[in-house]
Amino acid sequence: MTTWETETRRVYAGGRTFGDHGAFEILEGRVRYSVDPADPRNRGIVDLAFAPRDESGRVGFRGDFTIIAPRDTTARKLLIDVPNRGRRLAFSILNRARPTELLEDPCAPGDGFLFRRGYALASIGWQWDVSNGLRLDAPEVRADGEPVEGDVVCRVQPGTDRAFVFFGQLGEVTYPPADPHDPGSRLFVRDDDNAPLIEVARHRWRFARERNGVVERSDRHIHLDDGFERGRIYTLVYRARGARVAGCGLLALRDAAESLREGDGPVAPGIRRVVAFGASQTGRVLRHLLHLGLNTGSRGKRVFDGMHVHIAGGQRGDFNHRFAQPSSAGVPAAGQRFPFAGTRVRDPLTGATAGLYDNLTHMPKVVITNTSFEYWRGDAALTHVSPDGTRDLVPHPSERNYLFAGTHHVNGIMPPTNVFAATGEKARYAFNVVDYSPLVRAAFANLDAWVSGTTPPGSRVPSLRASTLVERSTVLRRFAAVGGFRGLDPDRLGGLSALDLGEGVEEGVCDFPAVEGKPYARLVSDVDDSLNELAGIRLPEVALPVGCHTGWNPRHPEHGAAELPAIFVGFSHFDGELATPGEIERRARDCVRTLVADRFV
């Protein structure tokens, strides 16, 4: 059950028209959700049974929404845009609104790509712990009427030597410690993700910060006697109080989509197709939603016809366990466990047999797009290879999987720089400049056509069969042969491993830190003589080639751990003689014509 409360309704984009679909309007407000914990469709949501209930025995919660829909015509297609940490995605990634436009209006239309194709768009708040943007008021977990306590885990890798660090996970601190003086709180340190955790004596650290030379209590910082060392990885585990039912965010996405599809929301009835788009964190949200089988509505019908899962790799995330932190990334937890691929396969490390889509009654069409970064992170290959990396998997018939060769997580960055604008920290080399935006749009357009019956292009990923899927060390040896080049240490690169999270993990109660077992396969595309990736969809910069473009980039020595990768970025390197501009243009046009013919741009 959903109730839509529209707070503002106005003409969108100054009345600009979008082809035959005319002018649009924008609606913003709140959605009231009401779910039945006894409904079998909701059985996978951790702690839903412990949330407060109303007189009818249902659990209620509310969330934000933004809807943009035709003003005078009826939309036949709906895109559910899954906000990343409160930020709407489709306007920048699919409509290609410029950053300057989005600063003035977070819903700037860009070139109107979606609206010209007849889409209504609904951005649905699903994350409860964001302070800005679209959010959800998730219910609290109660046991015998009292808030529950449990373990929280955080990861910190400082870029400078410092006396204290903030331990928020790509955002605010989700759960402050229940007792800052708890002797059971633990802090560990290691030099890389493959090294053993070394516990730091409790008397040497505390929940505190320094201000004007004075150490003062803080529930968002930890202070260490000898200071934190740049580049080292610190893992913090402590007890918190007052868990939220984080999985209600997944129910919000499902139920809002169903309501709009069935004509029960503020959009005119008539929607025939519903697709979802998520990127990075929210690509992992969609993978989690699929894994839980949340694609059946209250009337027993399909909710989503298709999903575009962008730059999620092979992971799910912190979206459905007790004391989950939805913004967390890189911390071994419940969302980093098998299965990784849609195709059903046996995991030789745990003995389990499963596929990501096993719990679905209604299978949507799924388009997966990843950059080289997600492969080098150590998990994207698991979407199409066996967990031990010994064989290619038979592709799932309702899935397409594409690698954007020679690209990185945050898309091409121009003008060239090696400095992160948000933090001022550096990577060793200038960031990757390859703009893969045309590939994202084409992948979405192919999904749009697929849900209406047109078969999309086949998957383009590296494979064992084609000898293009290799260990990271194989590629790094090729780079090491280049004089003066400083690469990564392959023995220190992370990835996914079999995890022991305690006996309660199947009920969503985890013991932290996770005990990490044997590693899963951590494979990447091999490279050609120009050191560009052989497999995947190759844009002209990679195929011609014009320079060398990667999905990995070493940390800058100033920030420590220079043999480990900087987060999210690759690099572009230009060396040697290039062909004449005329020759480059001719070859680039030939390359683009082939990409267009293959429906990749």
DSSP string, 24-79: EEEEEEEEEEEE-TTSGGGTTSTTGGGS---TTS-EEEEEEEEEEEESSS--SEEE
Residues 6+ apart with CB under 8 A from 191: 231, 232, 233, 492, 561
When pLDDT is cut at 50, 70 and 90, the band that residue 580 belongs to is confident
Strands 273-279 and 149-156: unpaired
Write down the mean pLDDT value for the chain.
96
Cα gap 464→385, rounded to integer Å: 8
When pLDDT is cut at 50, 70 and 90, the band that residue 346 belongs to is very high
Token pair belonging to 489: 């240490």
Tell me which residue has tokens 């797009």: 369
Q: Is the dihedral of CA 491, 492, 497, 500 positive or negative?
A: positive
pLDDT at 542 over 90: yes
Helix (H, G, I), strand (E, B) or coil at 229: coil
Cis peptide before 513 (omega within 30 of 0): yes
DSSP codes, 183-227: TT-EEEEESSTTSPPEEEPGGGEESEEEETTEEEE-SSEEEEEEE
What letter does residue 175 receive in the DSSP assignment?
S
When pLDDT is cut at 50, 70 and 90, the band that residue 190 belongs to is very high
Q: In what order do the strands lie in the sheet with 186-190?
A: 149-156, 233-241, 186-190, 198-200
pLDDT of residue 577: 67
Cα gap 458→422, rounded to integer Å: 38
Task: Centre a 10 Å sphere on the Cβ of residue 324 and count the other Cβ atoms it contains.
Answer: 28
Mean of the pLDDT values across residues 242-260? 98
**What are the structural domains, with CATH classification, of the chain?**
2-139+245-408 (3.40.50), 149-241 (2.60.40)
Strands 469-471 and 399-404: unpaired
Helix (H, G, I), strand (E, B) or coil at 442: helix
Token pair belonging to 524: 């990447």
- Picking from 184, 196, 181, the residue whose alpha carbon sits closest to that of residue 233 is 196
pLDDT at 564 over 90: yes
Strands 24-35 and 59-70: antiparallel
Mean of the pLDDT values across residues 233-237? 98
- Picking from 43, 52, 122, 54, the residue whose alpha carbon sits closest to that of residue 89 is 122
Cα gap 463→467, rounded to integer Å: 6
pLDDT at 104 over 90: yes
pLDDT tens by residue, 468-488: 999 999 999 999 998 788 899
To the nearest 10°, the Cα dihedral for 256, 258, 259, 261?
120
CA distance readout (Å), 358 to 167, 183, 288: 36, 42, 12
pTM: 0.97
pLDDT of residue 576: 67
Cα gap 349→392, rounded to integer Å: 17
Query: H or E segment at 376?
Result: helix 372-376
Token pair belonging to 14: 């100054």
pLDDT tens by residue, 358-407: 999 999 999 999 999 999 999 999 999 999 999 999 999 999 999 999 99
Quick one: three-class SS letters along 286-315? HHHHHHCCCCECCCCCECCCEEEEECCCCC
- Picking from 10, 124, 77, the residue whose alpha carbon sits closest to that of residue 449 is 77
Tell me which residue has tokens 């529209």: 6
Cα gap 68→56, rounded to integer Å: 33
pLDDT of residue 328: 94
Cα gap 323→154, rounded to integer Å: 11
Cα gap 311→408, rounded to integer Å: 9
Mean of the pLDDT values across residues 95-101? 96
Asked if 488 and 561 count as a contact pair (C-beta separation under 8 A), the reply is no
Mean of the pLDDT values across residues 565-576? 92
- Picking from 489, 474, 562, 571, the residue whose alpha carbon sits closest to that of residue 523 is 474
pLDDT of residue 303: 98
Q: Which residues pair with 24 in a beta bridge?
A: 70
Residues 6+ apart with CB under 8 A from 66: 26, 27, 28, 88, 107, 122, 123, 134
Asked if 240 and 152 count as a contact pair (C-beta separation under 8 A), the reply is yes
When pLDDT is cut at 50, 70 and 90, the band that residue 581 belongs to is confident
When pLDDT is cut at 50, 70 and 90, the band that residue 284 belongs to is very high
Mean of the pLDDT values across residues 517-538? 97
- For the chain, state the CA radius of gyration: 24
Query: H or E segment at 441?
Result: helix 437-450
- Picking from 398, 292, 386, the residue whose alpha carbon sits closest to that of residue 335 is 292
Token pair belonging to 448: 């749009």
pLDDT of residue 49: 97
Tell me which residue has tokens 């709140």: 30
